[in-house]
Structure formats: C-alpha cells, structure tokens
Amino acid sequence: MRYVDELRDPKLIRAVAAEIWRAVDPERHYRIMEVCGGHTHAIYRHGLPELLPPMIELVHGPGCPVCVLPMGRIDDGLALAEQPNVIFAAFGDMMRVPGRKGTPLEYQARGADVRMVYSPLDALKLAQANPQKHVVFFAIGFETTAPSTALTLMRAKQLGIRNFSVFCNHVLIVPAIRAILDSPDMRLDGFIGPGHVSTVIGCRPYLFVARDYGKPLVVSGFEPLDLLQAILMILRQLREGRAEVENQYRRVVPWNGNPAALKAMAEVFELRPYFEWRGLGFISQSAFKIAPAYADWDAEVRFDIPGIRVTDPKAAQCGEVLKGVLKPPQCKLFGRECTPEHPIGALMVSNEGACAAYYHYVHRLSATRSA
C-alpha cells in the first residue's frame, strides 16, 4: 500500500482487527511495547485500543528524545545561552522544556538570545549571518535526527565556519531497548519497533532482541493499518512459537538502513562511555559525542560545561511509565499537578511523551464525555 487513504480504510482496518481477535489466546495476557513516541500518539489519536481484544495491553516505551533527556543536561545547555555573545538555537519542541531556572522561552524573555530553528542547517546559517556572535545548536534526538547534525558539522568544517558549535545530546535506541530487556521489572511479550529511527539504522540492529531474549520485534509505520498489522505479526509469531525481527514498514525502512546517513554519523560522532537517561539512569554506550576531528565545533570542548545533575521530582513516576511498569493515569500527579500546560514529569513535557498522548486523547476525551 502506498497512500494514506488505503492505510486508513475502515474496511481494511476492521478486517485486520478481526484477524487480531482470532489470533489471540483468550486465556493469555499480552504485553506489547511500542518503542516510539510517535507510535504512542498514533495509537491514541486513531483510537486503536478500542479495536483490540482486552487481553492485549500496549505498553509505552522510551522513544521520545525530549522525555528521556535529564533536567541537568537541559541546564547545561541553557548555561551556554547565558554566555555573552552567544546565540542559543534549538528545535521548537525544546523551547518549552523546563530546566531548574526555566524554559528556553523564559530565558529568551529574560534577555538571552534564544532562537528556534527548524534544522541544524538553519543554526549554521545563523552563524554565517552573525559573524560577531557564536551560535550553539542544542542537538537532540535519536538516530533519526543525528544524520542532519552530522551533515551540518561536515558543512561547517568544509566552509571553515568557526563561530558555530553543537551541544550534542543525540541518543541511541538499541541500548535503551537492551536496558529495558535487562530490567528486572520487564514483563513484555514483544516490541513494535520504531519506524523513524529504523529508516536510518534499518532492522538488523534489533536482531539481538529475538536471538538473545526470545522476543518478537516488528518495525511498524505510523498509520492505523500499519500498527494493527504489526500487532498481528507479533501475535502470529507468539502463536507459532517464533521470535524474529520483521519489517512491516518495508515501503520506507530498508533492512540494512540508509548507508549515506550511517556513513555521516560514523565520521562525525563516536560513542560516549555512558549517558544519563531521564527515568532510566545511566546506560553505557547509549549516546553520541562529537569525534575529535570535529572538536573545533564541539560546544563541550569550546565552553566550560557545568555538568549539572538534577534529581527528578520524587512524586513524578516517569521511570516506571517508561519501563512499562505503570500506565500514565497511575502516576500520582497525572492530570492534577502535572498537565501539558504545567508539566512536572518528563513524559508530559513533549508532544511525543506517553503522558501527553494519554492526556490529549484519552483523559481529556473522558472528561468531556462525563461533563
């Protein structure tokens, strides 16, 4: 199927949902994690849980890069925004994310030169347009956005632009999945693999999930029919006693990934020994740092980074939600102290966070119906 209309066809959706009902064992409970925050939103936006048998439980994973970034790392970035003659550039979804002293938008209101950009190349253009200032780009995201940062740094080096650097916070999905599988709280039967990240890294890096842990993983697209087909493929594997990596999103995801993007990342980045994830703690080799060949464009080399560590609010149970131990409404703060307008926990901050998705598409709808 090639077009959105086909992937939202009610007849096809009902047919796949019926196959899912036939595929489940009524005596069994299935816990399936959608790794990607985009999948979480698509699941709720299209009301897919209402089509599924009650024995299927969808568990939300750590695939939102804004949600997993610890507050201390945000404070480190915002400390750069306070430097004289610095322009601090970030994506729009970072502008409302709070550090201890406020969000980037609040820093901007207090006089810091904070700019929203749509791409790393926009930040590089800012540097070219403002040679008297230094532009720091706050880089964030999984392997989905890391190639554009890599290509921008290659461009900066090629052009010899010295008033530009990157504060690198790119994280990797495979170590996060492994950390979840190694967690003693892990009670999962299979994974819906991330669609966007897989366009870059392909399906091959997930083979360990089936080989070492005996769990099925199906890479999925973001339309309702994509996600239902992925769930059906996982159920079929479980019913047949198989554990394999399969690609439902073949129209977009190449099995071996995007070679040009992988080459750019290999040139510009190297692995950090460890990196702190909000809610999950320190995970070894789970993030990129800028390679020595690009040290002149590495904000962590050019500036004195404070290395702030901040403990998350104790009442917020983001870690338990990220690991699938709790559902968003089971957090003590959900929908009361913690809302999208006043986020306390990481998962309510970003539009891709599980709590934000649940709040927008389930909690708010339920409140409207009961009013």
End-to-end Cα distance, the chain: 41
pLDDT for position 366: 63
Contact, 293 vs 149, CB < 8 A?
no
Nearest CA among 33, 72, 40, 79 for reference residue 56: 33
CATH architecture of structural domain 1-312: 3-Layer(aba) Sandwich (3.40)
Band the pLDDT of 349: cuts 50, 70, 90: confident
Q: List 114's β-bridge partners, or say none.
A: 88
Query: pLDDT > 70: what percent of the chain?
Result: 96
Residue 343 pLDDT class (50, 70, 90 cuts)? confident
Q: What are the domain boundaries of the chain?
A: 1-312, 317-370
Please say whether the beta carbons of 16 and 177 come within 8 A. no
Query: What string of DSSP letters covers 164-182?
Result: EEEEEEEB-HHHHHHHHHH
Name the pTM for this structure.
0.90
Asked whether residue 59 carries a pLDDT value surpassing 60, the answer given is yes
Rounded distance between C-alpha atoms, residue 174 and residue 187, angstroms: 18
Residue whose pair of structure tokens reads 């880089």 in the numeric block:
139
Residues 256-302 pLDDT 10s: 999 999 999 999 999 999 999 887 889 999 999 999 999 999 999 99
Stretch among 85-99, 220-234, 305-319, 330-344 having the lowest mean pLDDT: 305-319
Contacts of 49 (CB under 8 A, 6+ apart): 43, 58
pLDDT for 271 equals: 97
Distance, CA of 340 to CA of 98 (rounded, Å): 12
Query: 187-211 pLDDT, tens per residue?
Result: 899 999 999 999 999 999 999 999 9
At residue 342, the 3 state secondary structure works out as coil
3-state DSSP assignment of residue 90: strand
Closest CA relative to residue 57, chosen from 247, 248, 190, 202: 190
d(CA 21, CA 15): 10
Residues near 241 by Cβ (< 8 Å), separated by ≥ 6? none
Higher-scoring residue by pLDDT: 233, 10: 233
Amino acid identity at 73: R
Q: pLDDT of 145-156, one tens digit each?
A: 999 999 999 999
43 phi-psi bin (left φ>0, alpha ψ -120 to 50, beta other): alpha
Q: Give the per-residue pLDDT at 311.
A: 77
- Identity at 44, one-letter amino acid code: Y
Average pLDDT value over all residues in the chain: 91
pLDDT bracket for residue 357 (50, 70, 90): confident
* Residue 314 or residue 21, greater confidence: 21
